[in-house]
Structure 1
Amino acid sequence: MSATRVFVARLAGCAVFDPAGDRVGKVRDVLVVYRNADAPRVVGLIVEIPGKRRVFVSIGRVTSVSAGQVITTGLINVRRFEQRGGEVRVIAEMLGRRVLFADRSGEAIVEDVAIGEDASGDWQVTQLFVRRPRTGASPFAKGATAFVTWNEVRESAAVGEAQSAEQLIATYSEMKPADLANTLLDLPEERRHEVAEELSDDRLADVLEEMPESDQVEIIGRLDDDRAADVLDQMQPDDAADLIAQLPEARGEHLLELMEPEEADDVRMLLSYGPDTAGGLMTTEPIIVSADATVAEGLALIRRHELAPALGAAVCVTLPPYEPPTGRFLGMVHFQRMLRYPPHERLGTLLDQGLEPVTTDASAAEVSRILASYNLVSVPVVDDNHRLVGVVTIDDILDYLLPDDWRSHTDDDHHGKRAAARSQLKTGSIPVQSIQNGRRSARGTRNEN
């Protein structure tokens, strides 16, 4: 090993490479087992490999931990990780736990855990980075911190008791929404809801958009109505509509009444269309400009940080008003085309004359064929009066084409399904059935080979 002490919170998200330098995944957690009076022993890493599959990598297969990366022998068992009795995930279950000082000087919260290799080559917990409770009344005051050994503290609760949700959120603060969604789904149900309660409205909205609908419904169902409405306000209208459609009708209508009127109107409009039509799949928040807007103005709108990449690939040009449903739709101007013209060029002169919009009742199959045939990432949607009401983006179509539980499947699981989807996309037959993914229980000792 090239490192003698590593802090676990800094390992989260680190790339894992094989000896040839090829990336095989990224670290999600460290797995330890408790021993009587001795510090917990590290048994391995939980690594996410392509396909969002979590696998176990024995610590004996790790040859180097340095400069934010982990090097392994390359021999990784790709069977899905299943936590077993006696095993504890450091990030998910230890960080944020309360501990009592052995000298009876008080308690503290575990903010990080250091693991290290001893003389015999075994890895174990070497130190805890802890913070005492704050002493001042100011909300900005922080308690004193300290490095302690395992023997200098004892846990104030039984193993497995929920850790601080705030600490878990801080640990995962830099995660992308899709990665955080997967991490939350790995947590016990009660812990998941504790973390959801602590997340900000916009962060929780981003995370919910990356979850299967059944899990969205479960989490939103545990929030009080005012909080749930605030989170729905932050979601993309099409995602919010899909979620509300899964709720009991009475609660869905109540949440719509609590939402901001403009957001609720967009969601109600989307709910009025069939789920397998362009109207049901579209988002109502494309970039909309007038024909007199310049290339510079269009590029400035695309640069907005919160804008989804698919929506930033083109701007829609319409007559006033410029909120859906707009005035008459004139056309789209693609991002790459704008780059070829000077900043003062009017967007009305750069319209893509070959792209025809679809109507709200166009089928998902028709929209998918247009996106595939013309290599597009979005297609405009108009009503019977040729007013722009939204755009269907490539991610909307992919969410529709893939099975309901696609987020929990691996690349191998989907290899055949993708081939079938391509065939069905060409013929216009779209798969809508849900494929259930069963769980198997793990028994016996962990196989490190």
Structure 2
Amino acid sequence: MDRIESKAERPDKPVGGGRTASRFDLVLDTVGRLLRRGAIGNLERMVSKMHPADVAKMLHHLNAAQEKRTIFELIKPDTIKATVLSEMDEGDIGDVLQDVPAADIAMLLKDLPDDDQAYVITCLPEERSQEILKLMKPEDSAEVKDLLRYESKSAGAMMTTEYFSLTEDTTAEEAIRKLQGAKDTGNVFYVYVTDRGEKLVGVLSMRQLLQVPPHTRLATMIKREVISVTTDTDQEEVAKLVARYNLLAIPVVDKESRLVGIITVDDVVDIIHDAATEDMLKMSGTQIEEEDVLMHSSVFQAVRHRVPWLLTNLIGSIVSGSI
């Protein structure tokens, strides 16, 4: 069996330019030992305690496709398995799904947002992708196909159509009631407000919504100067705007200024990772650790420092606004 592509064969010694083995290196080493011994039960318990992003990273560091498939099949429940899938690289997705029936893949995808569904499908061969789309719910398949028509690396290709919006004549009381009953909207960071023609006319925070009298109409309280992007905006420009204006999400509009989706900060971090890695490798002409490249990206630094503050501020705003 192929060995794990790890720097942690001897974790007590420095690795990669004098750095000592990290906790992740030790995890890789342990996984390699368990795989070689066929200790499936131990592997399953270990994987169940890991964050989906860490499982995806671990799978990326396995050399053999069969090892990746072995680990992937141990992930439970399917909701977690789907999340891990959305965190994986294109090649790894192809490896773990190689022998999985199309019907099973369609079932996995139903637990993901539409933008992640589209990402996974684009990682598979065309014939297989079409088979999966036919097996998905018609409404889900239609949303994914709509995202797939946009150019790669554009805002349209990476946005999600699962967002919360209301018309400007809605009252605060009605808005809160609709928010409480909303489904398939993901994390609601902002309330986007449109006119009757679905054109984006404003945005407001959850704190604003909770602080005003119930009968207040959204049109009287929204911020009309909205930072937004169009469906053809380059994804790196999206990342810069999110970092510059401390946004948790940014709305996407079409050529007629109609709201068609949003891009959330978690997807922006993925963009920064990919762009920073590509640019720095081009400049250096050498192999650089992905973590090192990522941490030296100025835009990533902005997002990394601001996201915890933004999340804390959002939660604090909601709590203080509800008192």
Is TM (by shorter chain) over 0.5?
Answer: yes
Structure 1 residues not aligned, in runs of 5+: 1-52, 60-74, 95-158, 321-325, 423-449
Secondary structure at 2:98's aligned position in 1? helix
Give the match for residue 243 of structure 1.
Answer: 120
Q: Which structure has more helix as a fraction of its residues?
A: 2
Written as runs of structure 1 = structure 2, the 5 A alignment for 1:42-191 is 57-58=11-12, 77-78=20-21, 89=30, 93-94=33-34, 160-164=36-40, 168-186=43-61, 189-191=65-67
Paired residue for 1:224? 101
Q: What residue is the counterpart of 2:294 in the other structure?
A: 414
Partner residue, 1:192: 68
Partner of 2:193: 317
Corresponding residue SS for 2:269: helix
Q: Which of residues 261, 265, 268 is equivalent to 2:142?
A: 265
Shift of 1:207: 0.6
Superposed CA offset, 1:233-273 (max 9, x none): 22222222222223221111111111111111111111100
Question: Secondary structure, in 3 states, of the residue corresponding to 2:232?
Answer: coil
Give the letter aligned to residue 241 of structure 2: I
Cα displacement (A) at 1:362: 2.4
Aligned with 1:382 (options 253, 275, 287): 253
Q: CA 1:252/1:305 → structure 2, altered by over 3 Å: closer, same or farther?
A: closer
TM-score, reference length from structure 2: 0.69
Q: Is the 8 A contact 1:92 1:168 kept in 2?
A: no
* Number of aligned residue pairs: 278
SS in 2 for 1:209: helix
Which has the greater radius of gyration? 1
Task: Report the Cα offset of residue 389 of structure 1.
Answer: 1.2
Matched-pair identity in % = 29
- The aligned amino acid for 2:222 is L
- Match for residue 200 of structure 2? 329
Amino acid of the residue matched to residue 370 of structure 1?
Answer: L
SS of 1:175's partner is: coil
Q: Which has the higher strand share?
A: 1
Distance (whole Å) between structure 2 residues aligned to residue 375 and residue 82 of structure 1: 33
The change in CA–CA distance for 1:210 and 1:300 in structure 2 (over 3 A counts) is farther
Measured after TM superposition, the shift of residue 367 of structure 1 is: 2.6
* Superposed displacement of residue 351, structure 1: 1.7
Structure 2 counterpart of 1:238, which letter? Answer: D
Alpha carbon RMSD of aligned pairs, Å?
4.1
SS of match in other structure, 1:354: coil
Counterpart selection for 1:351 from 185, 202, 222: 222
Q: Distance in 1 between matches of 2:69 and 2:276?
A: 20
Q: Against the structure 1 CA distance between its residues 359 and 404, is the aligned structure 2 distance closer, same or farther, given a 3 Å change threshold?
A: closer
With the length of structure 1 as denominator, give the TM-score of the two structures. Answer: 0.52
CA distance in 1, matches of 2:10, 2:258: 53
